Structure 1
Amino acid sequence: MPYVNVKITRDGVTTAQKKQIVADITQSLVTHLGKKPEHIHIVIDEIDPENWGYTGMLTTEFRKK
């Protein structure tokens, strides 16, 4: 049972984009590892940019540069 956890910043990612990510990851696991789609679990965690650190600073600060 593959479990994939995708963490992204919460900034306007659409439901359609999330659906495509889930479909693409599922297909990749089916194609490359021979897994059955009904056994694949994918969770998308959306993190507020102020709660994500990058290069020693918060993402919100980094993006202002």
Structure 2
Amino acid sequence: MPYITVKMLEGRTEEQKRNLVEKVTDAVSETTGAPKEKVVVFIEEMSKNHYGIAGKRVSDQ
């Protein structure tokens, strides 16, 4: 049973997340041969206050 975690900054719509889960599931199923019913996708959303690039928080940019 494949488990996939997608970490991304908050701000996507429910529709975008729904499409992401569908497409990731399809890709994993196609490439590994795992049945779609066995593919688990976790979305972990991070606050822009808790994420930094090049020494700056994303929320400060």
Partner of 1:4: 4
Could you tell me which amino acid in structure 2 is paired with residue 20 of structure 1?
N
Could you tell me which amino acid in structure 1 is paired with residue 6 of structure 2?
V
Partner of 2:32: 33
Alignment TM-score, normalising by the size of structure 2: 0.89
Query: SS at 2:34's partner residue?
Result: coil
Determine the C-alpha separation between the residues in 2 that align with 1:50 and 1:36: 37
Gaps spanning 5+ residues in structure 1: where?
none
Alignment TM-score, normalising by the size of structure 1: 0.84
> How far has the Cα of 1:56 moved from its partner?
2.2
> How far has the Cα of 1:24 moved from its partner?
0.5
- Percent identity between the two aligned chains: 26
